[in-house]
Amino acid sequence: MVQVKSPYWQKVVDDAQKHPAVPGLETIPFFTMAPMEAVTDSVFRRVVAAAGGPDVYFTEFTNARSITHPKAKFTVQGRLHVDKSEKMPVAQLWGDRAIDFEAACFDLKERGYEAVDINMGCPAATVVKNGGGSDLIRHFDKAEEIIVAAKKAGLAVSVKTRLGFNQIDTFEEWIPFILKQDVPLLTVHMRTRKEMSKVPAHFEYIDRLIQLRDEIAPNTLLQINGDIKDRTEGLELVRQHPGVNGIMIGRGIFENPFAFEITPKEHTLDETLTLLRMQLDLYDQFTAEFGPMHFQKLKRFFKIYVRHFSYASDLRVALMDTTNTTQVRELLDQFDEQWAAQKASDTIAITTK
């Protein structure tokens, strides 16, 4: 088993071994939920935890400069908020100046974070234009300076990146370069920046990545990301590529909120709608504390819970017309009543107030 230099990540590896044994695997990989902007905030992380969450969570990415900038400081409070009931997530940062990472990491440490992840893969034009995210794949020196600066606060500093910016074969230089930075964890989204998410993830390079890791940085954990839907798929990938230590799942959670559960099972409609109700309640608490969020942002989650049952599309359409959580709850109550009645009749009608 890999001996990690970071106590934080060593504990993650050790704790993963407490899960039930997996046939065909000597070491059980850890599973993480991918950082996702406007998705993986404290509210959603708690909902995923209630559905049988991953071993580790990542926050949405936060601009390193904004954490300590006098004007932006306040607006990032919600973004970095962690509820007492949560496992402390890994804070993900993006930016392009070493000095900002250094200051941000000291600030995160004060907030109780133990681990920080540097975004070196975001393809968004605004991020790249500002020299952050995947643009760092084109600026090795800057990437190194940032890692060195981020480490100063003593947190566990990991990197999440892509195979390259435009060309896939960039990874033959880029990945060794990052591995030489002595990071406890390297997460690779198996695509280039240019490919965005438009082509299937290049799993064909996983074995080469393992080889590079083993040669250059045997103490660095390798986590694979891209197109892995749930724990079952992740375990199968690790069976095919022993040497992968962790699996990161992003969009899979949109298809199945129970994507991380250890023993997959069928879930009732009641269970999924209970998760939606939980999200509504936590959203209300969160906005009361940190100020209003666009309700539109919350609406994007509805389809996670309202799918795969008769009348799901009717309910979804009706939910899309709501403008606040009270209306959503009313609609769900109405649906519950009709769903019960439906057992005795054939039809169900959802109306929006």
Ligand X SMILES: Cc1cc2nc3c(=O)[nH]c(=O)nc-3n(C[C@H](O)[C@H](O)[C@H](O)COP(=O)(O)O)c2cc1C
Binding residues for FMN: 92, 160, 189, 250-251
Considering only residues 103-162, where is the footprint of ligand X by CB under 6 A? Answer: 119, 121-122, 160
Which residue of 4, 28, 34, 136 would you call a contact of ligand X, by CB under 6 A?
34
**What is the distance between the alpha carbons of residues 159 and 115, in angstroms, rounded to a whole number?**
11
Q: Is residue 305 part of the contact set for ligand X (CB under 6 A)?
A: no
Binding mask 252-281 for ligand X (x = CB under 6 A): x-----------------------------
Residues marked active site are found at: 122
Neighbours of 66 (CB within 10 A): 19
**DSSP code at position 227:** S
Task: Give me the residues paired with residue 61 across strands.
Answer: 92
Q: Is residue 60 part of the contact set for ligand X (CB under 6 A)?
A: yes
Please give the size of the binding site for ligand X, defined by CB under 6 A.
21
User: Beta strand 185-192 with 156-164: parallel, antiparallel or unpaired?
Assistant: parallel
**What is the distance between the alpha carbons of residues 273 and 269, in angstroms, rounded to a whole number?**
6
Minimum separation from the CB atom of position 14 to ligand X (A) = 25
Tell me the window of 34-42, 79-87, 257-265, 283-291 that interacts with ligand X (CB under 6 A): 34-42
Orientation angle between helical segments 312-320 and 325-342, nearest 10 degrees: 160
Tell me the window of 28-36, 69-77, 274-282, 342-350 that interacts with ligand X (CB under 6 A): 28-36
Provide the greatest CA pair distance for the chain.
Answer: 69
Q: Which is nearer to ligand X, 40 or 181 (CB)?
A: 40
Is residue 55 a contact partner of residue 12, using CB atoms and an 8 Å limit? yes
Is residue 94 a contact partner of residue 142, using CB atoms and an 8 Å limit? no
Q: Which is nearer to ligand X, 5 or 297 (CB)?
A: 297
Q: Is residue 249 part of the contact set for ligand X (CB under 6 A)?
A: yes
**What is the distance between the alpha carbons of residues 293 and 12, in angstroms, rounded to a whole number?**
33
Q: Which residues would be at the binding site for ligand X (CB under 6 A)?
A: 34-37, 39, 60-61, 92, 119, 121-122, 160, 189, 225-228, 249-252
